[in-house]
Amino acid sequence: MDEPDTAAILPGDLLGASSTDDQLSGSVDRKEEAGLPTATSSVPSPCTIPVPVSVEPVLFLSMFSLSLQALLSTQYLWDRISEDLGYNGSKRSECSNSSVDPDPLQKEVETLTAHWNLYISLGGFSVGLLVVPLLGSWSDVAGRRPVLILANFGLALQAAVYLVVMYLKLPVVYFLVGRLLSGLSGDFNAILAGCFAYVADISDKRSRTFRVAVLEACLGVSGMLASIIGGQWRRAQGYINPFWLVLATNLASALYAYLFIRESVHPDPSARLFTTRHHKALWHLYSTGGVSSAGGGPLHRGKLWLYTLCFFLVVGVHSGSRELYVLYELSSPLCWDSALIGYGSAAQNLAYLSSLLGLRIMQRCLQDSWVALVGLVSNITGLVVFSAADTTQLMFTGYGLCFLFMASTPVLRSKLSKLVDPSEQGALFASVSCVESLCFLVGSSVFNSLYPATLHFMKGFTFLFAAIVLVIPAGIIGALQCFDQRRQHRDSESS
């Protein structure tokens, strides 16, 4: 008797696979009638190796390279601008004496570094904002693997441009060229879209929140390792050798996706990338609420918009404030060196693991919405401490208080995924990727502009502002959960 082909079983297919087959076929028919892209059940691609692996290693490797690059590029900008202006802050007394007014030259270095971070981010994410939705929806018909491979090659090209700038000591404006090239290939947001859509393809609603949280934990673990390695390596050998690792990691991630990732949708060889069909799928999703909204009406569509707004605010705060941590720690009164900056970034990324563990424990006694609220409270308290941190001990206290700050985003991704039909997951995560690109664009613009503008009256005001913004999604999530509970209570009484 022949043994079953267990290699063809993807993780998550064992739960609820048979119960969703009819729903998938029906929803695909409805999507075809509407002229929208469809996503079907998982089949192996003929060019993949038949082993049961998922996308976690791709996301891990890509995030490792991105974290290492982000950590080093901000410090490189600081050093290059300091060298051009003749500033050497490491030998000044105000780094150890907070009562001494900072050197005006230091403020100029801070301002220019923040502005260049802003210009580079604006260039890359403005291009990605147009490209990522196209790639995400295209993956519904062409497959997830091509998007993952293309985006990783784009990040590798960016690292190569950065290396040329460092070798030849070209003006830092050429960093913008590398960022634009990466944006044209989808940037890291295309990798996020492909990975989360892949997990939605192979998981059921019951396990989806935790599967999404596992992916986000991969982001944290890789970021933590990159922070520790990058800080020590940069201090020992400078910037060039670590950036060779950034390049190699992106190429390794693309190679892994090509060799080992099994397709989760039926790839259509005739699928075109440049067509308005992909944007129509996104418009249909948010204008009508999707195929599955027939019984939900405006309420269903309203939830989709409100949870998307919550996601935008939370991720916007995370992405915008993340760029300022290194800048805040480099300047007085903290004046951290590269090793301490690495440890601080590692402490921040460790919260991905603690958030995953906390989410798993809290799900036993709390609904997902309350888990998200606990995560937001953890984030808000940590940001308030950062706003007043003038010592190393206080800064690490803030990192400790943020130990659950990533518990909210997997809940929001999962809630959005559960609101749409299984055949609309690609379109949904394309729109989420579009929102995420906009988060980076707006977050980087607001926080990099606000930080130098508020240095003269409160150095940590930007972190306090971020804490205030997070109160808005906390209120929306709590209100929606209370509304759902009251409606369920009325329905149970009437029945």
The answer to whether the beta carbons of residues 191 and 58 sit under 8 Å apart is: yes
- Higher per-residue pLDDT: 59 or 437: 59
Give domain status of residue 33, yes or no. Answer: no
CA torsion, ordered 22, 307, 297, 30, to nearest 10 deg: -30
Mean pLDDT to the nearest integer, 188-201: 88
Total structural domains within the chain: 1
Give domain status of residue 278, yes or no. Answer: no
CA torsion, ordered 119, 125, 129, 132, to nearest 10 deg: 160
Kindly indicate the confidence band of residue 474, based on its pLDDT and cuts at 50, 70 and 90.
Answer: very high
Mean pLDDT to the nearest integer, 445-467: 90
Percentage of the chain modeled with pLDDT above 70? 82
Give domain status of residue 284, yes or no. Answer: no
Give domain status of residue 445, yes or no. Answer: yes
Mean pLDDT to the nearest integer, 174-194: 90
Please state the length of the chain. Answer: 495
The answer to whether the beta carbons of residues 341 and 71 sit under 8 Å apart is: yes
- Predicted TM-score (pTM) of the model is 0.71
Distances in whole angstroms, Cα of residue 9 to Cα of each of 6, 52, 132, 264 = 5, 7, 29, 11
Give domain status of residue 383, yes or no. Answer: yes
The CATH number of whichever domain residue 140 belongs to comes to 1.20.1250.20
pLDDT at residue 101 is higher than 70: no
Mean pLDDT to the nearest integer, 223-237: 82
Kindly indicate the confidence band of residue 290, based on its pLDDT and cuts at 50, 70 and 90.
Answer: low
pLDDT at residue 32 is higher than 50: no
Give domain status of residue 16, yes or no. Answer: no
State both tokens at 388.
Answer: 């007043």
Task: Kindly report, residue by residue over 37-55, the tens digit of the pLDDT.
Answer: 444 434 333 333 333 458 9
CA torsion, ordered 229, 234, 238, 240, to nearest 10 deg: 40
pLDDT at 95: 58
pLDDT at 192: 87
Domain that holds residue 439: 47-88+102-262+292-494
State both tokens at 73.
Answer: 């590029």
Mean pLDDT to the nearest integer, 430-455: 83
Mean pLDDT to the nearest integer, 293-307: 72
- Higher per-residue pLDDT: 142 or 271: 142
Mean pLDDT to the nearest integer, 236-257: 93
Lowest mean pLDDT among 6-10, 202-206, 344-348: 6-10
- What secondary structure letter does DSSP report for 332? T
pLDDT at residue 71 is higher than 90: no
Give domain status of residue 209, yes or no. Answer: yes
pLDDT at 307: 94
Give domain status of residue 393, yes or no. Answer: yes
Mean pLDDT to the nearest integer, 319-333: 85
Phi, psi of 48 (to 5 degrees): -105, 155
The answer to whether the beta carbons of residues 341 and 70 sit under 8 Å apart is: no
Would you put residue 69 in left (φ > 0), alpha (ψ -120 to 50) or beta? Answer: alpha
Lowest mean pLDDT among 25-29, 338-342, 382-386, 487-491: 25-29
> CA-based diameter of the chain, in Å?
82
- Measure the CA–CA gap between 324 and 149, rounded to whole angstroms: 30
The answer to whether the beta carbons of residues 408 and 316 sit under 8 Å apart is: no
- Measure the CA–CA gap between 92 and 103, rounded to whole angstroms: 9
- Measure the CA–CA gap between 140 and 142, rounded to whole angstroms: 6
pLDDT at 36: 43
Please, is 147 exposed, middle or buried when counting C-beta atoms within 10 Å of its C-beta (0-12, 13-18, 19+)?
buried
